[in-house]
């Protein structure tokens, strides 16, 4: 009513139209298997550069956004220093596991992660309504053998399914699935249920933004009719086959001083069995805050 006129350039209008958005991705990324990642020779970032310079932080975040994993070297191997590292890019997300957690094979929780057994590839907290966005791992001590960390790009595997069997990709992105966590050990009494498809895509451009994959926590499938369940299992088997291809497995030996950040919405992790005493610390980060930090540094996130 005050006579104000807003002017929009044609280029801006085209870019922000529905047709324009269909041609763009929200989050640029590089899909990888083990060989692609090794050939890329993605550098780790030094802890001091990460903590004290915008350039080091930006390099780290660019690697993380593109590949879904990133490493920081020369970190003092304590829980306190790992916490300082995490807080550089995000608020720490406190969960039923606490704020910063120690990870040993002391059987203190009713969870396979707290054993010395091998763990198959999975994403964490699938039983949360919103799975945790980023996970930080730092091995503080390991006196024994084994225990290598397994990393698999879930988006790379999903892309193979999309190319080979698009109908199965669509089914995995449409069928709502329950994941459940029930714990009643000592003072820990928890019953968590998260609902959502294995593959989550933006509807306007079919861009994958979240994979929710954990066979340890998958609950009864009672959200769709029987004939759909039958087809869903076939689709899930196709995806699992891709995720378990040896060429897609990146094995990393974590050691004191080397912190690993994992995009829990994209990259699956696991471990091989180990002997001896092994202690990790880590935490979950809020995804919004990590992306916020990246955008303030001029990155597309």
Query: Do 212 and 123 contact (CB within 8 A), yes or no?
Result: yes
Residue 110: exposed, middle, or buried by beta-carbon count in 10 A (0-12, 13-18, 19+)? middle
Q: What is the pLDDT of residue 283?
A: 96
Q: What is the mean pLDDT of residues 206-230?
A: 94
Q: What is the pLDDT of residue 279?
A: 86
CATH architecture, domain 28-297: 4-Layer Sandwich (3.60)
- Helix 287-296 crosses helix 54-67 at what angle (to 10 degrees)? 120
In whole numbers, what is the pLDDT of the chain averaged over residues? Answer: 92
Q: How far apart are CA 100 and CA 92, in angstroms?
A: 8
What percent of the chain is predicted at pLDDT more than 90? 79
Q: How far apart are CA 298 and CA 294, in angstroms?
A: 7
Domain ranges of the chain: 28-297
Residue 112 confidence class, pLDDT cut points 50, 70, 90: low
Q: What is the mean pLDDT of residues 200-208?
A: 93
- Among the listed ranges 7-16, 116-125, 254-263, 271-280, which one has the minimum average pLDDT value? 271-280
- pLDDT tens digit sequence for 17-28: 998 888 888 899
Q: What is the pLDDT of residue 109?
A: 47
Asked whether residue 93 carries a pLDDT value surpassing 80, the answer given is yes
Residue 285: exposed, middle, or buried by beta-carbon count in 10 A (0-12, 13-18, 19+)? buried
Tell me which residue has tokens 């899909």. Answer: 31
Q: Where are the alpha helices (DSSP H) in the chain?
A: 10-15, 18-22, 34-40, 47-52, 54-67, 79-87, 154-164, 166-174, 226-243, 287-296
Residue 185 confidence class, pLDDT cut points 50, 70, 90: confident
Please give the DSSP secondary-structure letter assigned to residue 199.
Answer: E
- pLDDT tens digit sequence for 35-74: 999 999 999 999 999 999 999 999 999 999 999 999 999 9
- Among the listed ranges 30-39, 216-225, 230-239, which one has the minimum average pLDDT value? 216-225
Residue 297: exposed, middle, or buried by beta-carbon count in 10 A (0-12, 13-18, 19+)? middle
Q: How far apart are CA 255 and CA 73, in angstroms?
A: 10
pTM of the model: 0.91
């Amino acid at each position: 009513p005050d006579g104000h006129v807003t002017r929009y350039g044609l280029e801006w209008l085209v870019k922000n139209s529905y047709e324009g958005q269909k041609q763009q991705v929200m989050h640029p990324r590089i899909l990888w298997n083990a060989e692609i990642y090794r050939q890329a020779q993605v550098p780790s970032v030094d802890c001091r550069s990460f903590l004290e310079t915008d350039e080091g932080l930006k390099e780290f975040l660019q690697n993380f956004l593109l590949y879904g994993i990133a490493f920081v070297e020369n970190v003092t191997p304590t829980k306190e220093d790992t916490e300082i590292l995490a807080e550089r890019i995000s608020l720490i997300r406190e969960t039923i596991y606490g704020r910063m957690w120690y990870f040993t094979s002391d059987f203190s929780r009713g969870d396979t992660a707290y054993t010395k057994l091998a763990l198959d590839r999975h994403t964490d907290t699938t039983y949360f309504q919103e799975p945790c966005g980023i996970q930080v791992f730092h091995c503080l001590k390991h006196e024994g053998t084994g225990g290598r960390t397994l990393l698999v790009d879930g988006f790379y595997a999903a892309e193979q399914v999309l190319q080979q069997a698009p109908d199965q990709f669509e089914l995995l992105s449409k069928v709502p699935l329950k994941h459940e966590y029930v714990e009643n050990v000592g003072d820990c009494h928890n019953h968590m249920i998260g609902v959502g498809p294995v593959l989550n895509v933006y509807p306007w451009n079919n861009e994958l933004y979240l994979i929710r994959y954990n066979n340890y926590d998958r609950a009864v499938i009672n959200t769709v009719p029987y004939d759909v369940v039958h087809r869903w299992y076939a689709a899930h088997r196709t995806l699992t086959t891709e995720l378990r291809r040896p060429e897609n497995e990146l094995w990393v030996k974590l050691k004191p001083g080397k912190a690993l950040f994992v995009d829990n919405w994209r990259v699956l992790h696991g471990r091989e069995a180990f002997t001896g005493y092994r202690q990790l610390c880590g935490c979950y980060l809020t995804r919004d805050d990590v992306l916020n930090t990246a955008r303030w540094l001029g990155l597309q996130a």
